[in-house]
Chains A and B, each alone.
Chain A
């Protein structure tokens, strides 16, 4: 059995990618299973999805603890402990990273024994679609290539899954063309599936009943959400061009998260530890003094806080 685990941020298309691979495998006559992790559906928050492919009926259920392939749509997730990207990864696991860095650079930075391959899907999407957005078809194509599915079945699966989401035929075709490019471009790493150890069963612990006065979660701190840094959600960051700013306050007023404050002489200061990169300030700035810059990857991105 092949087990593929997708990690992405809400809105990137990890869930749809898992469906594309599942459908493509099904079209080739395999038994396939795909499911996302259940949780609140949220743009920018870490999400995971799972695809299992086999010739025999699949009895395993739930999350994939020991993946054959891990597909990472956003490398900033690696340093997020909640995302658990590297759980169950060993020297046999193939790791795909959507990254502008090379596989060698990534391997040294994450200091990992797994086998790494990479391709800059965000760049492909920017060039072909003209904007950032879901890269589900591209992730699906790459994952399909790595596990040895045929290009034609990926093509058909993209068509079915994206049509299900209500996308226009022209958009679907654009996705198929870009996916084909990624299918051909991704450096392939051979899979080792022979001697995978079978994971033991996990024991469930039944929690004790506590009365509401003890059993209810309580937070006795004030505004401690500041400790949670949501800056890693960004693919683009707003950057101020000071000369163009007319000090109008609109960025400060419209920022949903309140991460922009105004100095005494009416210049915005952006809290990059928490800015989620929604680009509202960039869109609303009347003098185009705020511009979107793609987040650079580097060593700083890997240091967990």
Chain B
């Protein structure tokens, strides 16, 4: 069964109204900001963003904010706890009649992959377990970007980072596999989780529209192509994001009450097409071609999609 977009069919359905305004000091060509801007068109202005420290710290650098709504800044590990506090406060105020129901707000955690995959994992697990009604928006650029691209548990095998350089002992750069945070969330049985890529705006908007119908924890994992850390020209951000999806490395999918559906079936271009564009993988091609490393990445992609075919497309 193929996934169908019900609401967003044409590009001109992307709302014109902006909710994240210009003037932030995020990098030119930031894939994370691109994803957040599109996401905010689905979320609107009645939102409290709870921002874990990370690149998005630069969204509201004192004394400026790009939002019409509210923004609360927390440490890397405690954004879901902050979200719980705001949710409780709103619930209490509404129950006591001190805040009209129409002024209720959506709570949206903004966390990078450093927070989402590493530091905030325990407070996130707690929040999902308590069925906290919130969105979790992770801008995943696969490393600690704000401090100069150090390895995180979202960094993929074979990427070079500041703390996993290509060396004689570790020629592949990063030796660990990217943590599967989607499955970790799914194991908690939240109502809605999805991966998105800003190069696929209709898929993204559709998923925000669908998620809005569910109460409880909702995860959005946004591929955030990063010119600064992945080392490519800022103008290529959409192209890099597109190839991440088309090579099968970044599957677009959702899980409603635990049931996974892939929302886009890529043609599985060779992974080299994606890797070659980025400086963080250049050591796999120069000065010597590291065939085994590339074959390992390719093999993992093939095995993933074989499993998807078996599970989702039987009969």
Chain A positions near chain B (C-beta within 8 angstroms): 10-11, 40-45, 131, 133, 166, 168-169, 217, 219, 221-230, 233, 248-250, 252-259, 261-262, 271, 274, 276-280, 282-284
Contact = CB atoms under 8 A, between A and B. Distances in A.
Contacts of A41: 145-149, 228
Nearest to A169: B287
Nearest to B226: A43
Interface string B55-67: 1011010111111
A274 B23 CA distance: 6
B199 to A, nearest CB: 8
A250 B146 CA distance: 28
Contacts of A40: 25, 55, 57-58, 146-147
B300 to A, nearest CB: 23
Nearest to B10: A249
Given A222-B65, A279-B234, 6 more contacts: A42-B25, A45-B27, A233-B28, A258-B21, A278-B227, A283-B238
A254 B198 contact: yes
Given A10-B228, A258-B21, A279 B235 contact: yes
A278 B237 contact: yes
B131 interface: no
Nearest to A257: B22
A253 B14 contact: yes
Interface of B: 11-12, 14, 16, 18, 20-31, 33-34, 37-38, 55, 57-58, 60, 62-69, 71, 145-149, 160, 165-166, 198-199, 201, 227-228, 233-239, 279, 282-283, 286-287
A210 to B, nearest CB: 15
Given A41-B147, A166-B160, A230-B25, A282 B235 contact: yes
A280 to B, nearest CB: 5
B13 to A, nearest CB: 10
A226 B55 CA distance: 19
A259 B22 contact: yes
B201 A219 contact: no
Contact of B22 (A222, A271, A277, A280): A271
Nearest to B22: A274
A225 B201 contact: no
Contacts of A222: 65, 67-69
Contacts of B33: 256-257
B47 to A, nearest CB: 12
Given A41-B147, A217-B63, A219-B60, A168 B287 contact: yes
B28 A262 contact: no
A225 B24 CA distance: 6
B62 A10 contact: no
Top 10 closest A-B pairs, CB basis?
A279-B235, A225-B23, A278-B29, A274-B22, A276-B28, A43-B27, A256-B34, A278-B28, A228-B23, A278-B234
28 contacts: A40-B25, A40-B57, A44-B27, A168-B286, A168-B287, A169-B287, A225-B22, A226-B23, A227-B23, A227-B64, A228-B25, A228-B64, A230-B24, A249-B14, A253-B14, A256-B198, A257-B33, A258-B20, A258-B21, A276-B29, A277-B28, A278-B29, A278-B227, A278-B234, A279-B233, A280-B29, A283-B238, A284-B238
